[in-house]
Amino acid sequence: MDSSVLIWGFLFSTFGLGFFMYGKKQGAIVPLSCGLLLMVYPYFISNLILLIVIGVVLMALPYFFRY
């Protein structure tokens, strides 16, 4: 495992925790689910480029889908 994958995974998991806490507090399902996915998916992805692309997409979803 490359150290950059570990650092990016930690970064996206940290943002995921923020999204999760915000979604739980506001009762919004989109940030809640994106936060949960951001915290979990780095455990299953070992390709750096794929990790970054999925993380950026998951972080942008609550901006475009506000429910």
Q: Read off the pLDDT of residues 12-48 as tens digits, 9 standing for 90 and up.
A: 999 999 999 999 999 999 999 999 999 999 999 989 9
Model-level pTM?
A: 0.87
CA dihedral (2, 17, 60, 45) in degrees, to 10, reads 30
Q: Which two tokens stand for residue 60?
A: 């942008």
Please report the pLDDT score of residue 23 as a whole number.
93
Conformational region of residue 63, where left means phi above 0, alpha means psi within -120 to 50, and beta covers everything else: alpha
Residue 9 has pLDDT above 80, yes or no: yes
Model confidence at 1, pLDDT cuts 50, 70, 90, reads low
